[in-house]
Structure 1
């Protein structure tokens, strides 16, 4: 199956293959880490697959953070509603670990787009959230991309 995916990817124009990885990275729960893996397994060179997946994830995170900041400003005067259990859990994590901790660890639980927007809605600085999310997205994308490269190399040796 991997060989079929790779030969299909090789038959595509290079920019189209990159676009597929970009879109995969932009999807919540796929993000930079699985987007990198998808790109590497599909046969896109890791030097392209990893940064393109990171870019896709970063763009959607930025859009949602900017939207959350704008929405927070508009909704600040509205009456508060009872937060969901997930939101309460994320808030406890935010209060305990702050922006860096939620950014670096939160992707193991929820997509970066959701955690980033939630932190901004909690009142965290947009620039701090964006900065730490970019660090986290990059670290997760590179780590999983390199694991995929290592796995593909081991599979080729076997």
Structure 2
């Protein structure tokens, strides 16, 4: 089923003009669970040069995750200014933060694309009170790493999946 879906996406994007292929690769990398890994892999499978597919996917995934970080940070400031350190929610946040401290931002950012989504990992990190700069830093590393892996994987599988 997954192979068929990838073949359909690759087949559809392959028929588009070059600009739309770039745009499609960019937009695919916005999607949670697909991200830079899937975007760069599909981009390289449709014939976009691997380095360019990786760059396009990294940029698309970066924009989508940074949007979540900025929106969450704005919302968090509004909520915090309204009502801080009260009751059940505050106690749950402290307990969640203790568990999160065991694994840290690096572990969550780097592993999330395999088991969940970088979007969810960024949201979770911020919800637990991690410094925004630290979340951004580790998610940029994760996006770049997974984008490169996806591009390499797409280049390697190029002949196998399309045929």
TM-score range, shorter chain: 0.7 to 0.9
**C-alpha spacing 1:122/1:8, structure 2 compared with 1 (3 Å):** closer
TM-score scaled by structure 2?
0.78
Paired residue for 1:40?
44
Q: Determine the structure 2 residue equivalent to 1:138.
A: 144
Task: Work out the CA distance in 2 between the residues paired with 1:91 and 1:117.
Answer: 17
Runs of 5+ consecutive residues of structure 1 not aligned to the other structure: none
Determine which structure has greater relative contact order: mean sequence separation of CA pairs < 8 Å that are 6+ residues apart, divided by chain length.
2
1:100 equivalent in structure 2: 106
RMSD: 2.7
Q: Are the equivalent residues in 1 in contact too, given 2:10–2:42 (CA < 8 A)?
A: no
- TM-score, normalised via structure 1 length: 0.80
Give 5+ residue unaligned stretches, structure 2: none
Q: Does 1:26 align with 2:30?
A: yes
User: Which whole-Å deviations, capped at 9, do the CAs of 1:56-110 have from their partners, x for residues lacking one?
Assistant: 1110100000111111122231655497xxxx6x973x32121111111222222
